[in-house]
Amino acid sequence: MTANSAAMCRQQEALHRQTAAETPFANVRKIALRAASAWQLQAMEAAQREAGGAPALSAEDAAIALEFLLDDDIEEAPVEDDIAEENRASRVTAARLAPKDDAGMPS
């Protein structure tokens, strides 16, 4: 994974602050200021990373990444159960649709 440089983050922050300052629309200003704040945080993290003083992920980012990994693990099991259920349902449907003899048994 390639991380953004502090300079690039500061450039993006400045761009969004300029957008917020120039727009006549309140909703655009609000979004641009939020984006600028996010880029400001990224710039600070990138500066720490470039100085060799911080890990690649902040504690908050690491917690979010872990949460996604755990969610993926939890979601995988039900998918397998769903496939097994679909296979069972297909067999039942096939048995119901199969030709039957005079006694009602599949032929």
Dump pLDDT digits (tens) for 49-88.
888 865 666 778 777 877 877 776 655 555 555 666 666 6
- pLDDT at residue 105, rounded to an integer: 62
Cα–Cα distance, 62 to 69 (Å, whole number): 11
Token output for 97: 């649709």
Amino acid 40: pLDDT: 94
Domain ranges of the chain: 1-55, 57-98
Q: Taking a C-beta distance cutoff of 8 angstroms, is the pair 32, 20 a contact?
A: yes
Residues 6+ apart with CB under 8 A from 21: none
23: confidence class by pLDDT, cuts 50, 70, 90 = very high
Q: Which alpha helices (H) appear in the chain, and where do they start and end?
A: 6-22, 26-50, 59-97
Would you give the DSSP letter of residue 106?
B
Q: Is the pTM of this model over 0.75?
A: no
